Amino acid sequence: MQKDWREDFSTQGYVICKNILPPDLIDEHLKQVLALCARFGVVDLESLVSLPIETDDAFMAAMLDLHYRNELARKLIFNRIMRRVLAELFGAEPILSFARSSLWEPGNMRAHVDTAFRSPDAPYSVCRTWCALENIDAESGRFYLIPGSHRTLMPRLYDEVIAENPELQELSRKLADEPENWWRLFSRGWPKVNAKVPDRIDGNQKVSFEMNKGDVIFFNPAVVHGTVDCLDPKGDRKVMICEWTTREAWNASGFSRPFYEEPSVSDAEDLEEADVIARVAFGR
Ligand SMILES: O=C(O)CCC(=O)C(=O)O
Ligand SMILES: [Fe+2]
């Protein structure tokens, strides 16, 4: 019998699905992302890192907007297999928090976590998808993560931060009865937890992956992750990053910003796809 991939996700904090995004759709999407970059004068790594801060903000807003509104981008993001994997992971229909693409990697993104408190378990469900938009070679700042760190290191750091900060203790105590405190706890506690990460990891435990165009890493943002050194001076590296959650988690979190919805997959499609999911998620 096949091992349940959700067990892997739960213990390791990630799972990889090979070859789920169609290459022709990726190519069309990349053309649009390139055109958007060009409108902001971003044509390579150098022009990206030297963007003035206000332009950089506007550039990021436009990038998010493209992923929100553009029909082609939405087709790629709301890939049926991707949604189906997430639905199985959450036990609920996934909704998108954000999506963006990046074509160049400035390099050396330090070891970090993007949440300290949520996990794929309701009501704080969250998962990120790191989608390779080209074959990612070893020189170009590959994504890495530390398997299982959401279960080992993170609870320790969280407990330390709570112990060191009485006001967070109070919020944490009230969390079970008043889940809306999650957002306060997150915005005040997460930077403190995150600041401890680089000094507390064992660099030898970093695992990076050979990713080909169309492959997707699903990962819990409470797993320690970052990018390895980018040795390619041009910094070419094409990736799309999405964050997913559930309606329940969204409501519980107290977020006010909008999320991006997509009608749910029909039952007939579900059945048709169950087999495909099993193949991509288990077979390597
Ligand atoms: O660009 C990268 O590979 C880093 C991605 C990352 O940190 C994230 O998706 O949370
Ligand atoms: Fe991250």
Q: Which atom of ligand 1 has the smallest separation from the CA of 102?
A: 1
Which tokens go with 92? 């609920």
Return the pLDDT at 120.
64
Which of 98, 104, 109 to mutate to test ligand 1, by most ligand atoms within 8 A of the CB atom? 109
Return the pLDDT at 284.
31
Any residues with Cβ below 6 Å from ligand 1, and which? 109, 114, 128, 130, 143, 221, 225, 227, 241
Return the pLDDT at 275.
46
Q: With b meaning 16 or more CB within 10 Å and e meaning fewer, what string describes 249-261?
A: bbebbeeeeeebe
Return the pLDDT at 112.
96
Tens digit of pLDDT at every position of the chain (284 positions): 456 888 899 999 999 999 999 999 999 999 999 999 999 999 999 999 999 999 999 999 999 999 998 999 999 999 999 999 999 999 999 999 899 999 999 877 999 999 877 666 666 688 999 999 999 998 988 999 999 999 999 999 999 999 999 999 998 888 778 777 777 888 899 999 999 999 999 999 999 999 999 999 999 999 999 999 888 889 999 999 999 988 888 877 666 555 676 655 554 454 445 444 444 443 33
d(CA 166, CA 184): 14
d(CA 220, CA 126): 7
DSSP state of 203: G
The residues whose Cβ lies within 5 A of ligand 2, an ion, are 114
Return the pLDDT at 177.
81
Which tokens go with 180? 């809306």
For ligand 1, the distance from its centroid to the CA atom of residue 227, given in whole angstroms, is 7
Q: Structurally, how many domains does the chain consist of?
A: 1
For ligand 2, the distance from its centroid to the CA atom of residue 115, given in whole angstroms, is 9
Q: What is the helix (H) or strand (E) element at residue 89, kind and residue range?
A: helix 80-90
pTM of the model: 0.89
109 alpha carbon, closest ligand: 1
Which tokens go with 151? 């279960």
> Within a 10 A sphere around the Cβ of 226, how many other Cβ atoms?
20
Domain residue limits at 133 = 5-282
In this structure, the dihedral spanned by the alpha carbons of residues 187, 153, 124 and 215, taken in order and rounded to 10 degrees, is 110
CB 165 within 8 A of CB 242: no
Write the CATH number for 171: 2.60.120.620
Classify 239 as helix, strand or coil. strand
